[in-house]
Amino acid sequence: MASSFKVSFGNGDGARDKRKYHATAKYDRAAVQKRLELEEWIDTELRKLFDCEDDEDPDVEIDLDEIIPLDEQQQKTEIKNLLSDCKKTEEIQKFTDDLLIKMKKL
């Protein structure tokens, strides 16, 4: 014979609490916010590098999940390879340096 268990949440006097309870995953909100801000900064800077209009996106995408695990020299190389179609060499160098600094803060 199978037994069934019921769990009810009460407020101590036997009355049931009408609120619903939800389980949520724990995460570091500050880290998620920093990551989001970095991704938005990357999008803004890429639009400037490729002279995109407000409503268009550049043809390049920088995937932080692929770049962060690399060592610093590999990161520089990968970023420069992704931006090889851009002719603004000075701006690419500044963007790369700034991006490396920002990634270290994640």
Q: What is the residue-averaged pLDDT of the chain? A: 86
Please tell me whether the overall predicted TM-score, pTM, comes out greater than 0.85 for this model: no
Between residues 98 and 10, the one the model is more confident about: 98
pLDDT tens profile 9-25: 565 555 555 566 666 66
pLDDT of 36 > 60? The answer is yes
Between residues 6 and 96, the one the model is more confident about: 96
Alpha-carbon distance values, 20 to 9, 10, 13, 56, 67 (Å): 10, 12, 18, 43, 41
d(CA 13, CA 3): 26
Q: What pLDDT is stored for residue 2 in this prediction?
A: 56
pLDDT tens profile 48-74: 999 988 788 889 999 999 999 999 999
